[in-house]
A and B are shown apart, each in its own frame.
Chain A
Amino acid sequence: MKTLRNFTPSWLKTYAFLYVIFLYLPVIFLPIFSVNTSATPKFPLSGFTFKWYGDLTRTPALTDAAWNSLLVGVSASLLSTIFGICAARAITRYRFPGRRTINGLLMAPLVLPEIIVAVSMLLVMLQLGLSLSLITVVFGHVLICIPYSLSVLTSGFEGFDRSLEEASSDLGESAFGTFRRVTLPMVSPAIISSLLVSFTISLDEFIMAFFLTGTEATLPVYIWGQLRFAAKLPGVLALGTLLLAGSIILLTIAEIVRRRASNRTQNMGGMIA
C-alpha cells in the first residue's frame, strides 16, 4: 500500500509537469524570440533588444489593424453583452415553453465548427447584399461571443434572491427603477466580466474575421498576412506577445470580478438559509 501511495504521486507529478511544459512551451517561446536581436527564431539567442517592439508603432498597416480590432472588439462585446442580459434575464426569471431549447440554441455556437459557421455567415451576408466590412465581422463575433456572455450573465442573474426585486417594488420603486437600482448593481460584476471575456474572444478571433472582413484587417488577420514574409516574423512575435499579455490580463480581471460577485451573492444566500 505504502509503496503504491508513494509511487502514484511522483509519477503523477512528472506527468503533470510534462503536460504543463507541452501546453506552455510555445507560449514561452513567443516573448523570448520577440526580444532576440536575430531575425530568425532559433537558439542560441544572439542578443537582447526591444527593437521589434519599437518597429511595431512605425508600421501603419499594423496600427490600422489594431484600431480595427479595437473597434470590432468593443462593438461585439457591447452587443453580445446587451443581448446576453436580455436572454439571461428571460431564462432565469420567466418560465415559458421552450426555455431550455432556446438556451441550448443560444449556447450552440460554442460547439459548432467555427469554419462552417463562418462560411454560412458569409453566404448569408452575401445573400442579404451586405458588403463585407468590419460591420459583418462584428456580426460574426457577436454570434460567437453570445454563448460566453450568456453563461457568465446567467450565473449572475441566478445568484440573487427574487424577493430583492419585490422588496424594491414594495418600497415604491417602478419596474425600471428597480432594474436600475437593484438588478443592475447586483449583476454589474457579471456584466463587466461578460464585456471583458467577449472583448478578449473577439480580439483573438481569426476565422470569422478572415471570412467576413472586406479590405480592413483585424490583428489576427494582419498577423496571418505577415507570416508569409520571413523578415516580418520578429514583429509578429512581438505583436503576439502583446496580444497574449493583453488577453491574460483581461481574462484575469474578468475572473476576479466574477469571483467577487459570486462570493457576495453566496454570502447573502448562506445567511438567508
Chain B
Amino acid sequence: MPERSMIEISRVTRSYGAFKALDETSLTIREGEFFSLLGPSGCGKTTLLRMIAGFDTPTSGSISVDGQPMDGIPANRRPTNMVFQSYAIFPHLNVEQNVCYGLKRLRLGADEEKRRVEEALSQVSLTGLGKRGATELSGGQRQRVALARALVMRPKVLLLDEPLSALDKKLREQMQVELRRLQQAVGITFILVTHDQYEALAMSDRIAVMFGGKIAQVASPKEIYQRPVNCQVADFLGGMNFVKAEIVEENGASMILDTPGFGRVKTDKPAAFVRNGKGATLGIRPERLRVLWDDTTDKYEVAGKVVDRHYFGEITHLVIEIPGFDKPLSVTETNNFGADDIPVGAPIRLAYDPDALVALAD
C-alpha cells in the first residue's frame, strides 16, 4: 500500500457555543486506505466527516485533501463524495438519473456518460436496474445506488456516514464484505463513520477511536483490539476484564505490574499512559482465557468458581470469581468441549497467555 498521505487534519476544533464537538484534532489518512472513525454518538466523528466533505467549517485548524488546503472551498468543488446515512436518493429521478446526476455537469458526452454509469452500476451489482424508479427500491438497493452515484464521480476520497446502520443484520454483514471488496477494487481512499466496533474491525485498514471530540487511538484493527491505549478504548471494542494492579517497575517502553491472581507481569507501556500513584489496570479479553479441563495444566493458570453462565449458541459466557480479584472474570469459551454444561458453583481453573495481558491507562 502506498504511504502517501491523502488527508491531513491539523489541530481542527469545531465548537457550538461552549460545546466543543471536536477538540484540537489532528489526523493523517493515507492514500488508498480504508479508514474508520469509530466512537459512540456525539464523539465528533460525523462532525469531522462533514468538515472533510465541506458541509461544516472548522472553528479553527485546517483540513487538506491531496495536498490542497480546503479552507473556503465549498462542498461542490471538493474532490470528495459522500454516501449519506439516509442515502439521500433523489426521489424524482430513476436509478440511472441518480447515478449520472453529478456527471451531467462534467459534459462528458452521451457515450462516455453512459459507459461510466454502466460501470458504476456493475460495480455495485445493480446492472439492469437503471430504469427503476427511486421509490421502488429496497433498502439495500438504495444503499447501492448511493454508492454508485458517489463512485461514478471518481472522487479522491469516498466518505461514508454510517452507511449500513439502516440495514438488517444479514444484509449489513453482506454489505461489509462487499464494501471492503469494492474499496480494494477501485483503490479509492474510503473514510467510514460508524459506532459499530465489529463493522470497523471487519472492514478497516486503520481505525481512529474517538471520545468526546478527541481521538483516543489510531491503529490497525488488530492493534486497537489487542493493545488498546486506555480502559475507555478497551471497553468500547468489545468485552474486557479489568484487573487492578500495582506498578512494580516502569522503564521506557515497558513496565512490570503485580496482581494477586496473575502475579508479576511484564507488558508494553501504552503511549497514553500517565502514572497516577502506584495503581494501574491490567486488561485481558474474555476469549484469551481458556478453561482447563480435568487434569490438564498450564504454566499460567488461575483457579476460581463459576458464579454465572450465559449461553449464546456457538459460545458460552462464564463468570468466574477468583480469590484476590476485586471483580469476577468473564470468560468466553466455544461450546466444542461442553462449556455450556459447566454447572454454576463448580470449581474451575483457567489458563491465560501473559502476552494477552495489557496495561491500560485509566
Tell me if B278 counts as interface (CB < 8 A to partner A).
Answer: no
With A and B bound together, what is the CA distance between A79 and B106 in angstroms? 35
CB interface residues, A 136-166, toward B, < 8 Å: 160-161, 163-164, 166
Tell me if A272 and B135 are in contact (CB < 8 A). no
Contact of A169 among B75, B139, B149 (CB under 8 A): B75
Tell me if B11 counts as interface (CB < 8 A to partner A).
Answer: no
Tell me if B139 and A271 are in contact (CB < 8 A). yes
Determine the interface band of chain A, counting residues with CB < 8 A from chain B.
20 to 34
With A and B bound together, what is the CA distance between A161 and B88 in angstroms? 7
5 example contacts (A-B, Cβ-Cβ < 8 A) are as follows A164-B90, A171-B149, A172-B153, A267-B91, A272-B87
Given known contacts A160-B91, A171-B102, A268-B91, what 15 new A-B pairs fall within 8 Å (CB)? A163-B85, A163-B88, A166-B55, A166-B82, A167-B82, A170-B80, A171-B149, A171-B150, A171-B153, A173-B102, A182-B90, A186-B91, A267-B91, A271-B142, A272-B166
With A and B bound together, what is the CA distance between A171 and B146 in angstroms? 11
Which residues of the other chain, A, contact B106 by a CB distance below 8 angstroms? 172
Which residues of the other chain, A, contact B142 by a CB distance below 8 angstroms? 271
**Distance to closest chain A CB from B46 (angstroms):** 12
Contact of B88 among A164, A264, A265 (CB under 8 A): A164
Chain B interface (Cβ < 8 Å from any Cβ of A): 53-55, 74-77, 80-82, 84-92, 101-102, 105-106, 134-135, 139, 142, 149-150, 153, 166
With A and B bound together, what is the CA distance between A168 and B105 in angstroms? 11
**Distance to closest chain B CB from A174 (angstroms):** 6
Tell me if A174 and B76 are in contact (CB < 8 A). yes
A272: nearest residue on chain B (CB-CB)? B86
Tell me if A104 counts as interface (CB < 8 A to partner B).
Answer: no
**Distance to closest chain A CB from B286 (angstroms):** 36
Tell me if A173 and B92 are in contact (CB < 8 A). no
Tell me if A167 and B84 are in contact (CB < 8 A). yes
Tell me if B76 and A169 are in contact (CB < 8 A). yes
Chain A interface (Cβ < 8 Å from any Cβ of B): 160-161, 163-164, 166-174, 177, 181-182, 185-186, 264-265, 267-268, 271-272
With A and B bound together, what is the CA distance between A63 and B84 in angstroms? 56
Tell me if B74 and A268 are in contact (CB < 8 A). no
Tell me if A264 and B135 are in contact (CB < 8 A). yes
Which residues of the other chain, B, contact A161 by a CB distance below 8 angstroms? 86, 88
**Distance to closest chain A CB from B69 (angstroms):** 19
Contact of B86 among A163, A170, A185 (CB under 8 A): A163
Which residues of the other chain, B, contact A171 by a CB distance below 8 angstroms? 76, 81, 101-102, 149-150, 153
With A and B bound together, what is the CA distance between A246 and B82 in angstroms? 48
Tell me if B76 and A173 are in contact (CB < 8 A). yes
Contact of B105 among A163, A177, A185, A272 (CB under 8 A): A177
**Distance to closest chain B CB from A262 (angstroms):** 12
Tell me if A185 and B75 are in contact (CB < 8 A). no
**Distance to closest chain B CB from A88 (angstroms):** 18
Which residues of the other chain, A, contact B54 by a CB distance below 8 angstroms? 169-170
**Distance to closest chain A CB from B175 (angstroms):** 16
Tell me if A172 and B105 are in contact (CB < 8 A). yes
Which residues of the other chain, B, contact A163 by a CB distance below 8 angstroms? 84-86, 88
Tell me if B101 and A168 are in contact (CB < 8 A). yes
B77: nearest residue on chain A (CB-CB)? A172
**Distance to closest chain B CB from A90 (angstroms):** 20
Tell me if B74 and A169 are in contact (CB < 8 A). yes
